[in-house]
Structures are given as C-alpha cells and as structure tokens.
Amino acid sequence: MRIPFDLAETLAAVVDEGTLDAAARRLRVTPSAVSQRIKSLESLLGQVLLVRSRPVRATAAGTAVVRLARQLALLEHDAVAGLVGDPEAGTRATVPLAVNADSLTTWFLAPLARLAARHPVVFDLHRDDQDFTAGLLESGTVMGAVSSREEPVAGCRATPLGLMRYEAVATPAFFERWFAGGVTPDALSVAPVLDFDRRDDLQRRWCEVRGVMAAAGPPRHYIPSSHDFAAATRLGLGWALLPTAQSAPGIAAGELVPLGGPPLDVPLTWQQWNLRSPLLDAVADEIVAEGRRVLVASGGPVSRR
C-alpha cells in the first residue's frame, strides 16, 4: 500500500490548523478539496483518520499518517538542499518542537535563533510540562522534545542534556512574615506557595523532603507562565522553586532569599525522531550543546538508543 504524499500532507495540515477551512487557506485550495482528499485517504486506508471535533484531532491511524507526512516533508527539504549543494536552498522547513516552560524561558530560544540565522527554517513550539512532552513525540505532533523521560520514545533517540536545578526562594518580607521561626514543617503547612499548574509537583516534592505531607499542604496560587511565575515570587505572592538561572540574580540583588535545604534537580533529555536528516541533526546539535552549556552536568552517558 502506498500513501500519496499530497493526501498525507493535507491530513497533517488539517490536524495542525484544527479545521478544514483553516487547512484549506494554508494549502491554498477550497475546503471541499480538503474534505475530498481526507475522504480519499480514509477510503484508501480503510480507516477513519480524523475525529470531526472542534478542533479536529487525529485518530490513532491518523496519527501514524501525520507523522509520516512530517517525516516526508523534512526529507524533501533535505533532498532539495542536497541537490543544489546549499543547506539554505529550497523551501523554508517547519520544525515543530516541544519544550517545558522553564527551559523555554531560560535557555531554549538561543540555539533556535542561531539555527534560524543559518537555515531556512521556522519553528512551531509546543509548550508542556517536561513529564508530558514525550507524548507529543509519540503522537507525531513534534519532531523533537525536551523531556524528563530518559528512555527513548519508540522510533526516537535520546541524548541527556543535564540537570535543571531548582532552588526554593521567597522575598525577604515574605520570609520574615511566614518563616521568622524557621522553615519548619508547621510553617510550610500554612505559608502560601506558587505552583505553575495543577500538574506541577516540584513544590510538593520539596515540601515532602522537609516533612510536609500532601494532606497538610499549604494554600496554593497557580501561575501558568514561567516568566510570570518568577515575577509573582519576586512580588511576594508566595514562595516557590525557581530555576537557578532565574533565582540567582534575585538572590544577588537581595530581592530573594533561599529557604535552605537541598536543591531539586530535574534531569532533562533531548528526544528526536530516529531519522537521519541534516536539518534535524543540526537542530539537535545546537540544542544539546546549549543544554550542556547552561544546565548542571548529570554525569550520565552521552547517548542512548
């Protein structure tokens, strides 16, 4: 069985854009043409590929076709560049990547800027918790991801980046109000704390190390933006664990004080499709080099398959 590239490309566009009308505008065809292509592909494969929800989403079979479409588009870009002997030749490639919010805020954009200066590429970034970005690889939504998962996703290869180190901090005024008698389990049980969202368990894990169980958890503010999360900490809304790249300047300026105790280290891994592509390899080289420059060395193996 052969899957026509134009039909697979159309399915990927529909999944990316969320509706047939939006995909039609992107592909510069009519919505009816998009609908007909999807029906033709479903008839060819004998399976439903789209759930007609709002936005639409791919079925398990559709996910496999979307992943194929993205891989073929990447290989086509590399082939065109190779034919003319110029890595910057050919159409501009779209590279979807997944990254956790703290990496996006502190170090991830610099390597992308360097890549965009050298290659005809645009990046489509998907932000999610590092514990969940691997799922975007499995679904074919992205080609590469910063993940806390160390074992390679099926069909991918994994390279350790290092440890993102977090330190518990608060403003001096907050510390004086809530921790004047020390950072004790009793004090931590009542002092307001910041969480990124309801899946963020860093503060809870740190509290458990200090003897505070979840049942005695403190009042929680939810701030689902890494930049605003750090700003809320500096404003004294609560105490929080910040990456050292965000906490160190505030501590040096006297705007923040550490709560003490050991830091919390989160290991990060770069996962990408196990597809030999000069462009994707260039993306990996830049991201891995930057990660290893700014993150705490983990002392792990260089690469796993």
CA torsion sign for 235, 238, 239, 242 is: negative
CATH architecture assignment, domain 1-69 = Orthogonal Bundle (1.10)
By residue count, the chain amounts to 305
Q: Output the pLDDT for position 191.
A: 95
Q: Which residues contact 42 (CB under 8 A, 6 or more apart)?
A: 48, 49, 50
Q: Give the distance, in angstroms, between the CA of residue 232 and the centroid of all CA atoms in the same chain.
A: 22
Distance CA 279, CA 276 (A): 9
Boundaries of every domain in the chain: 1-69, 164-265
Of 66, 84, 90, the C-alpha closest to 8 is 66
Condensed to tens digits (0 to 9), the pLDDT of residues 138-190 reads 888 899 999 998 999 888 999 999 999 999 999 999 999 999 999 999 999 99
Q: Output the pLDDT for position 305.
A: 32
E runs forming strands in 100-248: 121-127, 144-147, 156-170, 193-195, 220-222, 240-243
List per-block mean pLDDT (blocks of 10 residues) for the chain, which spans 305 residues: 90 92 94 95 93 90 90 82 57 87 95 92 90 85 92 91 96 97 93 93 90 76 94 97 95 96 93 88 95 82 37
Q: Output the pLDDT for position 302.
A: 38
Do 1-69 and 164-265 come out as alike in CATH topology? no
Whole-model pTM: value is 0.80
How many other CB atoms are there within 10 angstroms of residue 128's CB atom?
19
Q: Which CATH superfamily is domain 164-265 in?
A: Periplasmic binding protein-like II (3.40.190.10)
Q: Which residues contact 210 (CB under 8 A, 6 or more apart)?
A: 183, 185, 188, 261
Q: Output the pLDDT for position 192.
A: 96
Q: Give the distance, in angstroms, between the CA of residue 111 and the centroid of all CA atoms in the same chain.
A: 15
Distance CA 225, CA 116 (A): 25
Q: Output the pLDDT for position 293.
A: 95
